């Protein structure tokens, strides 16, 4: 009798079958697709042998109606209004939230709660445009293997919030790609670097791409990639260096009367930024001290020599923004600069000497640059995809990522009770018990928020739902357990259950698009700057809530057993209740607490009398043996 074969967990039941899985780096400037072939991760080239795909889509209105990649990029200067580049900055945003939106050569409008681009082919959302890029990478992978794609691991900036992650997943679905997982770009880089170099210890991953900046502090130990802290700026990248260079080139080349780049026509603006990018790339070459920025404009031909020092001075504020984010991440990880064993540089913008010099000065050591900064993210994603597809035959990776901002629930008085603190390792599940505020309360309104401040008004609203069917009980008796589950993609589910009756409510938090680019950084910055103010505000709100609860409980007791009190005692308690109601809007927490305590002290004999009555009623008509 033949023995039946059972495959290892996660492996294909057919030992000769290999699932085609890829890693995709959906970048602001360029995108790549990579896969593991013959045990080695490598980026897949197009038919011309190029691994980079410019993240550009041009709507032509002819034939297929659009071109993608290099073909689209070649028409950017002639048709900027319909050539969409850097669309990653629009993902999960509304127009008002987009940094430097008026500087873009194409027209951004709001459609159905998300920023869209007005083109000759109609209004196109960032999800649709990104799907065109992702589909092109999917076809490249399927052509390379002459087989259908099983799935992909897609990378996102570590500082992408829920809306931006969801927009990325939606784009992949639209492109016909099965998303195995979303992972943070710095983490993907660490996977590629760690496995390739067999490194262990504490590392910083400095990721400066075309439109976003991320910094992650990781611990690498025997195949375990643990993210200790993450930070960054989702509105800072190589595009901003291009704009800064364009500004100084206009000023120095055309004199004091030179227009700003924003005042140029769309065609001139596109040409100027393209020339600035070429100049920046030239200045990033070894031993190059100056480069020429040449560009014909309607206001006059621009031809100027830019030195490396002038470029460094013009972009120093941008570089310092990255340095400040690095320092915050180190503080979150409770580390000093000298505790980092190596700094991994990721993203094409890290080729700029001004960036590498700033990183070397900050950490006191030269950054690690022996891996291609353009390809390293896609390579790491490919390694993770290969494992998730069940093809990996070696030691399994353990990937421990983190969430960038705390998650919590609104409680009485507009306070935030944090359930999942920021920089918590994901996937994770956390739970906390809550209770009702009023007697007989049969429903609970749950408001899920994200942020670091103590007041709901200062945080971002993610979702609202209700738990209904709670049995009527006295205030504070019901026990409602609220559970937060964050999956490996950083997506959130919230469950609420009343533990006594078992009634449940559930919501998958799929946020609406539209969080400002600066909001996450502002949330963290505000949480530090306003910490003392938040503590005081929280104390006042908590004192008010306690006062309201005391008044309600006392009134309920008086309605039930007020006859136990003498007229003098009743009048005294009524006076204290009126007095406590009068201070509920005070901003003096100590004063509110003192008035609450006065009412509590005055009602102690009444509470004892009520207890005695309850015992007497319970024992009435019963003999000792029955008791």
Q: Do 133 and 63 fall within a single domain?
A: yes
- Which of residues 357, 382, 401 is at a domain's end? 401
Residue among 84, 52, 50, 88 at smallest CA distance from 67: 84
Distance CA 193, CA 357 (A): 21
Is residue 155 a contact partner of residue 490, using CB atoms and an 8 Å limit?
no
Is residue 363 assigned to a domain?
yes
Same domain membership, residue 180 and residue 48? yes
Is pTM beyond 0.75? Reply is no
Let me know whether 322 and 370 are in one domain. Answer: yes
Residue 83 lies in a domain: yes
Model confidence at 257: pLDDT above 80: no
In whole numbers, what is the pLDDT of the chain averaged over residues?
Answer: 82
Least confident of 251-265, 376-390, 547-561: 251-265
Question: Does residue 6 sit within a domain?
Answer: no
Q: Active site includes 25? A: yes
Same domain, 437 and 493: yes
- Rounded to 10 deg, the angle between the 238-254 and 316-332 helix axes is 160
Q: Are residues 305 and 341 in the same domain?
A: no
Element (H, E) at 375: none
Is 207 one of the catalytic residues?
yes
**Shared domain check, 293 and 356:** no
CATH code at 261? 3.90.640.10
Residues 429 and 374 in one domain: no
CATH of residue 97 = 3.30.420.40
pLDDT(324) > 90 = yes
pLDDT band, residue 516 (cuts 50/70/90): very low
In a domain, 209, yes or no: yes
Separation CA 233–CA 516 (nearest Å)? 11
pLDDT tens, residue by residue, 220-251: 776 677 788 888 887 788 889 998 999 888 88
Judge whether 12 lies within some domain: no
What is the C-alpha to C-alpha distance for residues 232 and 345, in angstroms, rounded to an integer? 14
395 and 417 part of one domain: no
Instruction: State the pLDDT at residue 537.
Output: 66
Please give the pLDDT value at position 44: 95
Q: Do both 104 and 219 map to the same domain? A: yes
448/522 same-domain check: yes
Task: Round to whole Å and give the CA distance between 548 and 328.
Answer: 40
Give yes or no: 185 in active site: yes
| Catalytic, out of 76, 88, 97, 233 | 88
- 590: CATH: 1.20.1270.10
Q: CATH no. for residue 491?
A: 2.60.34.10
Residue 1 lies in a domain: no
128, 162, 185, 374: which one is catalytic?
A: 185
Q: Is residue 16 part of a domain?
A: no
Q: Give dist(CA 348, CA 548) in Å, integer.
A: 58
Based on the fold, state whether residues 175 and 138 are members of the same structural domain: yes
Known active-site residue 62: no
Q: Per residue in 68-99, pLDDT tens?
A: 999 898 888 788 889 999 899 888 888 887 87
Q: Are residues 510 and 388 in the same domain?
A: no
State which residues form the domain around 550: 532-619
Q: Among the three residues 528, 561, 586, which one is the final residue of a domain in this structure? A: 528
Q: Is the pLDDT of residue 137 over 90?
A: yes
Report if residue 73 sits inside a domain: yes
As for how many domains the chain has, the answer is: 4
Given 76, 162, 170, 207, the catalytic residue: 207
């Amino acid at each position: 009798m033949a023995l039946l074969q059972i495959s290892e967990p996660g492996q294909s039941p057919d030992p000769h079958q290999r699932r085609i899985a890829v890693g995709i780096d959906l970048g602001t400037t360029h995108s790549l697709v990579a896969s593991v072939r013959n045990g080695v991760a490598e980026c897949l080239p197009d038919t011309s042998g190029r691994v980079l795909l410019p993240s550009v889509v041009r709507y032509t209105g002819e034939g297929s109606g659009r071109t993608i990649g290099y073909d689209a990029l070649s028409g950017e200067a002639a048709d900027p209004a319909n050539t969409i580049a850097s669309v990653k900055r629009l993902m999960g945003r509304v127009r008002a939230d987009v940094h430097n939106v008026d500087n873009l050569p194409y027209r951004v409008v709001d459609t159905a709660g998300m920023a869209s681009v007005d083109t000759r082919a109609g209004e196109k959302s960032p999800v649709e445009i990104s799907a065109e890029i992702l589909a092109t990478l999917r076809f490249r992978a399927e052509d390379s293997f002459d087989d259908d794609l099983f799935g992909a691991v897609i990378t996102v900036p570590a500082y992408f919030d829920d809306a931006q992650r969801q927009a990325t997943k939606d784009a992949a679905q639209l492109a016909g790609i099965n998303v195995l997982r979303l992972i943070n770009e710095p983490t993907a880089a660490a996977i590629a670097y760690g496995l390739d170099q067999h490194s262990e210890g504490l590392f910083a991953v400095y990721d400066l791409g075309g439109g976003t900046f991320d910094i992650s502090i990781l611990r690498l130990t025997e195949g375990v990639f643990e993210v200790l802290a993450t930070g960054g700026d989702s509105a800072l990248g190589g595009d901003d260096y291009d704009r800064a260079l364009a500004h100084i080139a206009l000023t120095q080349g055309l004199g004091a009367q030179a227009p700003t780049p924003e005042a140029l026509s769309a065609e001139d603006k596109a040409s100027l930024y393209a020339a600035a990018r070429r100049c920046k790339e030239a200045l990033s070459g070894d031993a190059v001290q100056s480069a020429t920025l040449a560009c014909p404009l309607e206001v006059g031909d621009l031809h100027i020599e830019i030195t490396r020092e002038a470029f460094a001075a013009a972009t120093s504020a941008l570089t310092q923004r990255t340095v400040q984010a690095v320092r915050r991440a180190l503080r979150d990880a409770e580390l000093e600069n000298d505790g980092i064993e190596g700094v991994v540089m990721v993203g094409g913008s890290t080729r700029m000497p001004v960036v590498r010099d700033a990183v070397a000065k900050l950490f006191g050591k030269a950054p690690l640059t022996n891996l291609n900064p353009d390809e390293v993210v896609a390579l790491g994603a490919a390694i993770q995809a290969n494992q998730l597809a069940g093809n990996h035959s070696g030691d399994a990776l353990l990937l421990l990522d983190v969430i960038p901002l705390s998650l919590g629930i609104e409680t009485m008085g507009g306070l935030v009770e944090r359930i999942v603190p920021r920089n918590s390792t994901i996937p994770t599940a956390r739970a906390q018990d809550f209770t009702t505020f009023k007697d007989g309360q049969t429903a609970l309104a749950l408001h899920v928020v994200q942020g670091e401040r103590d007041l709901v008004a200062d945080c971002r609203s993610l979702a609202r739902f209700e738990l209904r069917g709670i049995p009527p009980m006295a205030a504070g008796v019901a026990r409602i357990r609220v559970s937060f589950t964050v999956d490996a993609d950083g997506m959130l589910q919230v469950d609420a259950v009343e533990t006594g009756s078992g009634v449940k409510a559930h919501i998958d938090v799929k946020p609406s698009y539209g969080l400002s680019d600066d909001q996450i950084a502002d949330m963290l910055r505000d949480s530090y700057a306003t910490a003392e103010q938040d503590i005081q505000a929280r104390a006042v709100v908590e004192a008010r809530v306690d006062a309201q609860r005391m008044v309600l409980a006392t009134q309920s007791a008086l309605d039930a057993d007020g006859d136990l009190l003498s007229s003098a005692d009743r009048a005294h308690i009524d006076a204290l209740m009126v007095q406590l109601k009068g201070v509920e809007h005070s901003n003096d927490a100590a004063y509110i607490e003192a008035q609450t305590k006065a009412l509590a002290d005055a009602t102690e004999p009444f509470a004892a009398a009520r207890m005695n009555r309850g015992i007497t009623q319970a024992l009435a008509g019963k003999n000792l043996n029955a008791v």
